[in-house]
Structure 1
Amino acid sequence: MNDSESGNKAQQNGEVVKNTGQFIQHIAYWYSDGSIVVRVDDQTIYKIHLSMLTKLSKVMEEILTIPDDKQSDDPNREGTSLYPLFIPGTNAQEFNDFLFWLYRTEWESLGDDVEKERMCTHLLKLADMWEIAAAKKYAIHALDMVYLPPSRRLELAGKFAIPDWVRPAVRRILDGKLSQLKDDDICAMGWKVYSMLVNAMEMLGEETRRTALVAPGMIKDPSIQCTDHTSCQSIWPKLWFDRIGRDLLHPKTPMKLGGIVAKILQDATLTHPKLSECCRLDMVLHCSRIIFADEDIVTQVSNAIIQFHATLA
């Protein structure tokens, strides 16, 4: 068995591996005043500041604590260049990105969106594993500034327990067409979540048809300025369908339920010779205050997804 194979086996068994020249010092993260030498694989070692790491969380403190029976003059003591301390559960790329966050300065850029996503996803993983709240908060904030497909948002929300990302992602998906989702998108968010979205889309379709065909009820007590309320009541259902319902049921570019309020606020939308101006204004105000059921459906499916994500923890 060669030195590399022996090192790999010892690494897997959690044994101390002696540095006989097989490790390479990391160029960026080898500080002359560093107080501990660590490694995450069988290639690179890092000399970093123990105090900066242990103050991050109790988990990090436990990982980096040298056993009391290993005295400072012990030749086999871990955490030195000769016997680097092995940190399990990560790899060089993830650890490099973690150290970038740890040693970053305000003026340092995370790079383009692709690089930001990679770095922050790694940071989220290690923040959860090592229970570092500050790192997770930083990664979430940074990713809030990056465009991610809603399917990717849902994937990360489930993987790293970020419930605040669920509803906006669900809204974006339901505002489009499920047929636009690719197989990779579905696999990313998971089939369980996708099935919830399919059910929600069906519910939205039913609610859209109902809203298109059934006009909101007219106000029973009209303004005294309305001289022929019977005429207003008679024309209202047809006016609603002609101006709103047809757009909702358009075969190619249907209007979303959420677009109703914006449309009825346009002056000409609900104007008709047989509808008095006072009743028109009353109905514009009344309809603009209606919370159409699509918001309830979005909330319902979002909460269901959040609850499902909680079972994955």
Structure 2
Amino acid sequence: MQQLIHAPLADISVSEAECLGLRVYMIIAKAHERIEVERKSIGAVAPGLSLAPSTACSVTKHSTCKDIWAQVWWNKVAYRILHPTNPLHLSAVFDHVTGLSDPQGLNPQCKVKFLEQVVETGTLGVEDQIVEAAITAVQAYFDSL
């Protein structure tokens, strides 16, 4: 089920769709679309850009931190989240970001605050929640037959 939700809908053949039935196919398609919307929302804007500087950073230096963070997000994170054929699973974003080398000019404490914002938004678990809701909906449908 998870593979069907994460696969492009065009990869589901007509015969496979007929075997699934309209109701199950619609559940899969809607889950797929919700995940795509979440990916675009998360990837489009670097989280934490409105945060105040960390105690180890100044207000004037923080504008540089925000610029660097936005570049790191777009160049090293968002493109992975938005990749059309092999996207980074949202639950893997935190590990991906923490695995990146610290960019020159970004205050390490500001990076910590930016990462905390990524976690606090609650969006990293949304992909799994969508998949679980779809599985539950399919199970409920089959139970009703």
TM-score (norm 2): 0.76
**Structure 1 residue 203, shift from structure 2 partner:** 1.7
Give the Cα separation in 2 of the matches to 1:216 and 1:287: 6
Asked if 1:256 is matched to 2:107, the reply is: no
More strand by share: 1
Asked if 1:204 is matched to 2:55, the reply is: no
Pairs within 5 Å for 1:79-228: 169=1, 171-218=2-49, 220-227=51-58, 228=61
Aligned to 1:211, the other structure's residue is in SS state helix
Give the Cα separation in 2 of the matches to 1:173 and 1:308: 17
What residue is the counterpart of 1:234 in the other structure? 67
The more displaced of 216-225 and 228-237 is 216-225
State the Cα RMSD in Å.
Answer: 2.6
Aligned to 1:223, the other structure's residue is in SS state coil
Gaps of 5+ in 1: 1-168
**Identity %, equivalent residues:** 21
**CA 1:176/1:216 → structure 2, altered by over 3 Å: closer, same or farther?**
same
Amino acid at match of 2:75: D
What residue is the counterpart of 1:243 in the other structure? 76
Q: Deviations over 1:197-244 (max 9, x none)?
A: 112111211221111112212473543222422322233223211111
**Structure 1 residue 286, shift from structure 2 partner:** 4.1
Amino acid at match of 1:262: D
Q: Deviations over 1:42-87 (max 9, x none)?
A: xxxxxxxxxxxxxxxxxxxxxxxxxxxxxxxxxxxxxxxxxxxxxx
More helix by share: 2
Amino acid at match of 1:301: A
Query: Do the aligned residues in 1 keep the contact of 2:68 with 2:105 (CA within 8 Å)?
Result: yes
State which of 100, 114, 119 in structure 2 corresponds to 1:283: 114
Give the Cα separation in 1 of the matches to 2:34 and 2:133: 11
Structure number with greater CO (CA < 8 Å, separation at least 6) is: 2
Gaps of 5+ in 2: none
What residue is the counterpart of 1:302 in the other structure? 135
Size of the alignment, in residue pairs? 141
State which of 92, 100, 114 in structure 2 corresponds to 1:267: 100
**Structure 1 residue 266, shift from structure 2 partner:** 0.6
